[in-house]
């Protein structure tokens, strides 16, 4: 029997000399689990270890690698210290420990709380553990949120890192003090803008002098800041300057809560309305004096470009620079020069080595896309009808096969949940669990069962639709014919047809701009 060991620690480790090291707690977990596996006579396949991750984080890299290897049947057993080390979410307990692992032939064992899927008698205890862990997550999230809200309302800084130009006060938690090295750059940015320099020009000046941008500055100062992996991520950009010039923290006001979490189960954030931000004046020493701040805000407002509400550029967020990968910005010539729209990579302006500078007119890109679409349409429509139908039906058969497998899994889940509800009722009758526990757990099981039944119904609708398509035949000819012989594109067509377009540098001596279209079909 091959065993995979999974370890996790959520607290930020203070006993690690280097970030890449294992913490002592993780080392202790590994030693305990390896000893247990040896005593059982199991062969160690691999150790999966996530350090500094919570049990509700579904993006844990080793956790996801473990699940991928489990689905591939690379081992027979998953061994953890406790069930909560694997996950604190009841949904994932049901999905994997009680759902997919049995299908994949994987046994789950946690040694401290005696969870073992080979022992059917402790399934309810595993479910109760899952409920307790779920409640723990929710209660902890509510408690933390209330504490943080209170501190924000009172003007204390909340966050792992101080804004560029400041650093955390070592003598007063939640208070910011000026970091003079970075603050001098902030003052220079505000001064240059007040003197008439543009945001892109300021970024280029800083890059030409080799001044690290805020994220690179944090890294150089030894802070555990996750550096973006994009090309030229250490350079100053237009938006870094733009955000700096309008941030009230630089005049001594604490402004927080611009983003809020979607749920305690995910780290995903979404913007919050400005009226819901936490704003407290005079919480720390300002870097920018009020006169300079007011002058800059007036100039920012004057330079703001008017735009038509509700309009979206034809290739908005669809065109990318082939050299650096950044989304190209739209630009427009003056009315006396025709008022034509262009797409350009602004990275070419922030540093001489940042990018070659892709550039193309919207009209030219539109025509290139139409020409390529017409070429593909003609090529496709000339295909042999029988060959296309065989390929078409084969794809639909694969889709149908996958959906039927999912439906079978959902049916098994419904049976398990129904059985669990019956067993809970008998436990209540026998006095093994309280009325309150029964109502709580049975409600969860019933909700999950209803969800599974909805998934079954949705899957059956998809099967019917697929079978109808197979009966009618391949209608892609009609779909593509809608986009032949076009003279112009609209935004709806671009959204439907195109994932993104990669735009290169104009070929010297010609007017040709190389592009690569990534279609949605």
One-character DSSP codes across 455-471: HHHHHHHHHHHHHHHHH
Compute the distance between CA of residue 350 and CA of residue 238 in angstroms, rounded to an integer.
8
- Model pTM? 0.45
Give the pLDDT confidence score for residue 143 in this predicted structure.
61
Mean pLDDT of 326-338: 73
Compute the distance between CA of residue 441 and CA of residue 123 in angstroms, rounded to an integer.
13
Give the pLDDT confidence score for residue 390 in this predicted structure.
47
* 27: its two tokens: 């080392």
Give the pLDDT confidence score for residue 401 in this predicted structure.
83
Compute the distance between CA of residue 291 and CA of residue 238 in angstroms, rounded to an integer.
24
Mean pLDDT of 389-402: 67
- Quick check: 250 and 286 in contact, CB under 8 A? yes
Distance of CA 330 to the CA centre of its chain: 26
CATH level 3 topology of 154-303: Hect, E3 ligase catalytic domain fold (3.90.1750)
Q: Which of 36, 25, 28, 9 is nearest to 109 (CA)?
A: 36
Rg (CA), the chain: 29
Compute the distance between CA of residue 320 and CA of residue 343 in angstroms, rounded to an integer.
9
Question: Which residues are CB-neighbours of 52 under 8 A, at least 6 positions away?
Answer: 9, 10, 11, 12, 13
Q: For residue 376, what is the enclosing H or E element?
A: helix 362-381
pLDDT for 323 beyond 50? yes
Compute the distance between CA of residue 84 and CA of residue 110 in angstroms, rounded to an integer.
9
**First vs last C-alpha separation in the chain:** 44
Q: Which CATH class is domain 2-147?
A: alpha beta
pLDDT tens digits, 449-458? 878 888 888 7
Q: What share of the chain is helix, strand, coil (3-state, %, to 5)?
A: 50, 15, 35
The per-residue b/e assignment along 147-158, b for 16 or more CB within 10 angstroms, e otherwise, is: ebeebbeebbbe
Compute the distance between CA of residue 236 and CA of residue 208 in angstroms, rounded to an integer.
10
* Count of Cβ atoms closer than 10 Å to residue 241 Cβ: 23
Give the pLDDT confidence score for residue 10 in this predicted structure.
61
Q: How confident is the model at residue 189 (pLDDT cuts 50, 70, 90)?
A: very high
**Percent residues over pLDDT 90 in the chain:** 19
Quote the mean pLDDT of the chain.
78
Q: Which of 189, 151, 179 is nearest to 283 (CA)?
A: 151
């Amino acid at each position: 029997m091959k065993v995979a060991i999974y370890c996790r620690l959520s607290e930020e480790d203070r006993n690690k000399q280097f970030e890449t090291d294992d913490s002592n707690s993780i080392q202790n977990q590994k030693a305990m689990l390896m000893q247990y596996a040896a005593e059982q006579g199991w062969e160690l396949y691999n150790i999966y270890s996530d350090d500094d991750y919570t049990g509700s984080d579904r993006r844990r890299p080793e956790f996801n690698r473990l699940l991928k290897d489990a689905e591939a049947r690379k081992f027979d057993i998953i061994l953890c210290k406790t069930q909560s080390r694997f996950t604190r979410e009841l949904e994932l307990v049901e999905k994997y420990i009680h759902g997919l692992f049995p299908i994949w032939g994987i046994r789950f064992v946690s040694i401290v709380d005696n969870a073992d899927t080979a022992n059917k008698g402790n399934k309810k205890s595993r479910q109760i553990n899952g409920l307790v862990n779920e409640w723990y997550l929710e209660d902890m999230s509510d408690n933390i949120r209330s504490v943080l809200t209170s501190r924000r309302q009172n003007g204390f800084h909340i966050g792992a890192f101080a804004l560029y130009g400041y650093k955390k006060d070592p003598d007063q938690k939640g208070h910011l003090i000026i970091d003079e090295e970075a603050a001098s750059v902030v003052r220079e940015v505000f001064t240059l803008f007040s003197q008439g320099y543009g945001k892109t020009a300021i970024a280029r000046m800083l890059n030409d002098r080799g001044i690290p941008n805020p994220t690179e500055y944090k890294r150089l100062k030894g802070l555990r800041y996750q550096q973006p992996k994009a090309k030229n991520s250490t350079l100053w950009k237009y938006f870094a300057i733009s955000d700096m010039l309008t941030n009230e923290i630089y005049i001594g006001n604490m402004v927080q809560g611009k983003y809020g979490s979607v749920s305690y189960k995910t780290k995903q954030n979404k913007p919050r309305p400005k009226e819901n931000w936490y704003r407290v004046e005079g919480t720390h020493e300002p870097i920018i004096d009020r006169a300079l701040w007011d002058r800059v805000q007036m100039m920012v407002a004057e330079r703001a470009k008017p735009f038509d509400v509700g309009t979206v550029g034809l290739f908005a967020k669809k065109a990318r620079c082939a050299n650096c990968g950044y989304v190209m910005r739209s630009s427009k010539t003056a009315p006396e020069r025709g008022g034509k729209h262009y797409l350009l990579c602004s990275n070419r302006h922030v540093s001489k080595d940042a990018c070659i500078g892709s550039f193309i007119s919207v009209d030219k890109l539109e025509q290139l896309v139409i020409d390529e679409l017409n070429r593909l349409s003609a090529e496709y429509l000339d295909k042999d009808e029988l060959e296309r139908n065989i390929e078409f039906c084969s794809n639909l058969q694969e889709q149908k096969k996958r959906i039927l497998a999912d439906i079978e899994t959902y049916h098994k889940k419904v049976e398990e949940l129904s059985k669990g509800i019956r067993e809970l009722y008998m436990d209540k009758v026998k006095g093994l669990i309280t009325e309150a526990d029964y109502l709580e757990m049975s409600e969860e099981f019933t909700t999950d069962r209803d969800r599974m039944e909805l998934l079954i119904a949705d899957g059956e609708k998809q099967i019917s639709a697929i079978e109808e398509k197979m009966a009618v035949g391949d209608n892609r000819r009609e779909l593509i014919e809608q986009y032949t012989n076009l003279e112009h594109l609209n935004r709806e067509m671009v959204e439907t047809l195109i994932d993104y377009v990669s735009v290169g540098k104009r070929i010297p001596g010609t007017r040709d701009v190389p592009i690569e279209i990534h279609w949605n079909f």
